Amino acid sequence: MPIRLEDYQEVAGPGVIEELRALAGRVAGRSMQHINSTPVGGGVAEILTRLVPLLRELGVEATWDVIKGDQAFFGVTKAFHNALHGKPEQVTAEMYDIFRANTETNLRDMNFTGDAIFVHDPQPAGLIARKQEIGRRWVWRCHIDVSAPQPDVWEFLRPAIEQYDAAIFSMPDFAQRMPVPQFRIAPSIDPLSDKNRTLESSYVTSVLEKYHIDPGRPVLTQISRFDRFKDPLGVIAAYELVKKRHRCQLVLAGGGAPDDPEGGEVLREVQQAAEDDPDIHVLLLPPFSDLEINALVRGSTVVIQKSIREGFSLTVSEALWKKKAVVGGAAGGIKLQVIDGMTGFLVHSVEGAATRITQLLGDRRLRERMGENGYQHVRQNFLVTRHVRDYVLTMLALEHPGESMIYLS
Amino acid sequence: MTPDQPKPFVFFTETRLVALTGRKASNIEELLQHLGQVSGSCIFYHTHYLYLTHHFEKPRFYNEFANWVSRALQEERLAERLAGIDLLEMTSIRDLREAIGRVIQKHLESDRKTLRTCPAGDEFHFCEARSFIMPTGLVAAGVPEFFDLLGNVTNDCLHFHFFEARLRLERPTNDFSQWLRDLGQTKLAAKIDRLNPYAMTLDELKREIVKLGRK
């Protein structure tokens, strides 16, 4: 049975759905087109999968299109991604040409149907070139940490971004000095999706056993793409320190995404680092493994997200929603989700991660308290219903440019 | 169109979208410089937003400038002085901006040698809110009904009529007291005026107002 808006009433809290209906009534019949670079894999695609149907149920004509790109293009955009996150990348003139050529192809093939067009991340950012011809309201939705971008890549993108009517960043640290209104909208999780919904404990146990994980011993888990910014090798190093005191196991699980060609290389490095320890489980999960990911997190004792650079990392909210204390790298949006000492611990090093994991493994009540706090924190701030509201508000803000108090009769 | 003061009382609510200015400060001088240039909405946001958000522990200060100065710059004396600005004495955002500026200026003049720069990544980011105001559908025809309905309004509704109305919309007092005064309930209005909304949570404020109304 399809999930309906009403189904969120219980999990999101009283009044949330009524407020959404009241606000959406003010933009009913308008169309909102989302454009990104991948239909599956990664947080953006996951969010849009639920957000678009919910907007439609509210009367907003929401649609979702995906740009085309070959391996060369996604190689370039991965380099852009790294460079915008502040990791030095050699970006050549040829790479910029590949980006421009791919943008031209998509400009030719894409139908721009929205009254408001939300373009996600740098890959499709060049589509703004069509604005001059067709008008509409254009929003650049940036999901990555651009607080300290590599200057040449940012300057390449900036002229395009400055043509948008608004830009959205996940946290204030990512905002830029530019003549475009900017809004802060955090990403969100869908509490009713296969990745987050409640599961039978027997299923959780069966998934652990399927992957030869012992449910009787502590399980540390990091769910993420195999990406150097997620520091999987640092997680293994922290686990090795913890293992001196606790007979624990480590699960490093993630999938690939078509727009991330670097993943295979990182996976090989991780497998190599883990090969001598049967208690380290490196799992490359195929698409549509959401139920198993859900079970792996629910079956974990402590969840880790030891990122060095991070856009947001929805895996943190997903773990908090399951009442798991999270040890997270003090990077990007993790700092919004892990309230240090309340919903988990923020760490800056392998040693810090190991210390906090050890502390949590030795204190069940602390884990439970943080887990309960984390659940409440996500409920109030990081559910998809809040995200839907913020996108509706963005549409309304675009219709009232320059106004700070907007009266909706 | 703005919601004026009708009789009966129409309860409005407010929802916000946080806007980013791209401005950031890493020391007190930069903080002061930006404070002189940001919008009134920005000043209001950083002195009032924490009253609306849930906290696992009460924030040290509700004034975000004070929190940042304490946490990131470890300038405790200045943090306390910023937090000590009496928001009830302010009748406009302009007053508030000037009061904050005076406190920082005084600190800079007296204590320059302790000027610190925050660690990288811990800068103060200036935000502001786009506020969307809607009628709640709740309308009180008279005083008893007003207090009955007030018990059921959201914190956003309370925040709009009590905080936004006075400072951001520069009305002479909060909307509740004004409406009661218009109805001739001057004593009751004065009692509500005497409440210090900055010394309690919004839930506590609501309970106090309802208690006064039912006496």
A14 pLDDT above the threshold of 80: no
- Residues with Cβ within 8 Å of residue B15, at least 6 apart in sequence: A19, A23, A389, A393, B131, B132, B134, B156
Q: What is the pLDDT of residue B55?
A: 80
Find the length of chain A. Answer: 409
Burial A158-181 (b: 16+ CB within 10 A, else e): eebbeebbbbbbbbbbbbbeeebb
Q: What is the pLDDT of residue A177?
A: 92
Between β-strands A31-36 and A61-66, what pairing exists: parallel, antiparallel or unpaired?
Answer: parallel
Write out chain B residues lying below 8 Å of A177, CB-based: 22-23
What angle (nearest 5°) sits at the alpha carbon of residue A332, between those of residues A344 and B68?
80
Same-domain pairing of A335 and A257: yes
* Cα separation values, B61 from A6, B49, B51, B103, B107, Å: 38, 12, 10, 16, 18
Q: Looking at the complex, does the CB of residue B104 fall below 8 Å from at least one CB of chain A?
A: no
Nearest CB partner across the interface for B128, out of A178, A404, A407: A404
Residue A408 within a domain: no
A31 neighbors A112 (Cβ within 8 angstroms): no
Q: What is the pLDDT of residue B214?
A: 83
* Residue of A405, A406, A408, A409 to mutate, interface with B, max B Cβ within 10 Å: A405
Q: What is the pLDDT of residue B1?
A: 41
Q: Looking at the complex, does the CB of residue B22 fall below 8 Å from at least one CB of chain A?
A: yes
**Residue A383's beta-bridge partner residues?**
A189
Whether residues A407 and B121 touch (CB distance < 8 A) is answered with no
Whether residues A178 and B18 touch (CB distance < 8 A) is answered with no
What angle (nearest 5°) sits at the alpha carbon of residue A168, between those of residues A166 and A173?
125
pTM comes to 0.91
How far is residue A117's CA from residue A352's CA, in Å, rounded to a whole number?
A: 43
- Token code pair at residue B49: 């937003």
**Residue B17's beta-bridge partner residues?**
B130
The arrangement of strands across the sheet holding A249-254 comes to: A280-284, A249-254, A219-223, A302-305, A326-329, A344-347
Same-domain pairing of A298 and A150: no
- Residues with Cβ within 8 Å of residue A309, at least 6 apart in sequence: A85, A86, A87, A145, A229, A331, A332
Count of alpha carbons within 13 angstroms of residue B57, beta-carbon side: 8
The arrangement of strands across the sheet holding A405-407 comes to: A61-66, A31-36, A116-120, A137-141, A166-169, A182-184, B9-25, B124-140, A405-407
A157 or A310, higher pLDDT: A157
Least CA distance to A378: which residue of chain B? B54
Whether residues A184 and B123 touch (CB distance < 8 A) is answered with no
* Structural domain count of chain A: 2
Q: How far is A71 from chain B (nearest CA, A)?
A: 34
Residue A346 within a domain: yes
Same-domain pairing of A165 and A262: no
Nearest CB partner across the interface for A409, out of B1, B24, B125: B1
Whether residues B1 and A405 touch (CB distance < 8 A) is answered with no
Enclosing domain of residue A393: 5-188+383-399
A192-219: pLDDT as tens digits:
999 999 999 999 999 999 999 999 999 9
Of B206, B198, B137, B215, which is closest to residue B176 (Cα–Cα)?
B206
Nearest CB partner across the interface for B17, out of A147, A339, A397: A397
Residue A210 within a domain: yes
Same-domain pairing of A24 and A153: yes
Residue A406 within a domain: no
Q: What is the pLDDT of residue A130?
A: 97
Residue A96 within a domain: yes
Same-domain pairing of A184 and A257: no
Whether residues A176 and B22 touch (CB distance < 8 A) is answered with yes
Q: How far is B83 from chain A (nearest CA, A)?
A: 22
A292 pLDDT above the threshold of 60: yes
- Residue B34: burial class (beta carbons within 10 Å; 0-12, 13-18, 19+): middle
B44-100: pLDDT as tens digits:
999 999 988 878 888 889 999 999 999 999 999 999 999 999 998 888 899 999 999
Least CA distance to B127: which residue of chain A? A172
Contacting A residues, span 170-189, partner chain B, CB-CB under 8 Å: 172-173, 175-178, 181-185
A66 neighbors A35 (Cβ within 8 angstroms): yes
Rg (alpha carbons) of chain B, rounded to whole number: 19
Least CA distance to B160: which residue of chain A? A405
Nearest CB partner across the interface for A407, out of B2, B128, B130: B2
Give the N- to C-terminal CA distance of chain A in Å, as an integer: 36
CATH number of the structural domain spanning residue A29? 3.40.50.2000
How far is residue B129's CA from residue A289's CA, in Å, rounded to a whole number?
A: 39
* Cα separation values, B6 from A147, B140, B166, B180, Å: 47, 10, 17, 11
Same-domain pairing of A209 and A347: yes
How does DSSP classify residue A285?
Answer: P
Residue A137 within a domain: yes
Residue A405 within a domain: no
Same-domain pairing of A156 and A258: no
Q: Looking at the complex, does the CB of residue B4 fall below 8 Å from at least one CB of chain A?
A: no
How far is residue B12's CA from residue B154's CA, in Å, rounded to a whole number?
A: 10
Least CA distance to B153: which residue of chain A? A15
- Residue A304: burial class (beta carbons within 10 Å; 0-12, 13-18, 19+): buried
A44-86: pLDDT as tens digits:
998 999 999 999 999 999 999 999 999 999 999 999 999 998 8
A20 or B1, higher pLDDT: A20
Q: Looking at the complex, does the CB of residue B21 fall below 8 Å from at least one CB of chain A?
A: yes
Same-domain pairing of A179 and A270: no
Q: What is the ipTM of this complex?
A: 0.90
Percentage of residues in chain A having pLDDT higher than 70: 99
Q: Looking at the complex, does the CB of residue A342 fall below 8 Å from at least one CB of chain B?
A: yes
Same-domain pairing of A374 and A340: yes
Q: Looking at the complex, does the CB of residue B15 fall below 8 Å from at least one CB of chain A?
A: yes
How far is residue A347's CA from residue A354's CA, in Å, rounded to a whole number?
A: 9
B157-207: pLDDT as tens digits:
999 999 988 887 787 889 999 999 999 999 999 999 999 988 888 889 999
Q: How far is B192 from chain A (nearest CA, A)?
A: 25
Of B80, B79, B67, which is closest to residue B122 (Cα–Cα)?
B67
Write out chain A residues lying below 8 Å of B15, CB-based: 19, 23, 389, 393
Write out chain A residues lying below 8 Å of B1, CB-based: 407, 409
Report the amino acid identity of residue A356: R
A150 neighbors A84 (Cβ within 8 angstroms): yes
Count of alpha carbons within 13 angstroms of residue B144, beta-carbon side: 0
Whether residues B21 and A376 touch (CB distance < 8 A) is answered with no
Same-domain pairing of A216 and A322: yes
Rg (alpha carbons) of chain A, rounded to whole number: 21
CB pairs under 8 A between A and B: 85
Q: What is the pLDDT of residue B2?
A: 46
Same-domain pairing of A71 and A48: yes
Whether residues B127 and A397 touch (CB distance < 8 A) is answered with no
The phi, psi pair for A113, rounded to 5°, reads -110, -15
How far is residue A115's CA from residue A137's CA, in Å, rounded to a whole number?
A: 6
How far is residue B22's CA from residue A167's CA, in Å, rounded to a whole number?
A: 11
Same-domain pairing of A205 and A344: yes
Q: What is the pLDDT of residue B170?
A: 80
A221 pLDDT above the threshold of 90: yes
Of A359, A151, A343, which is closest to residue A246 (Cα–Cα)?
A359
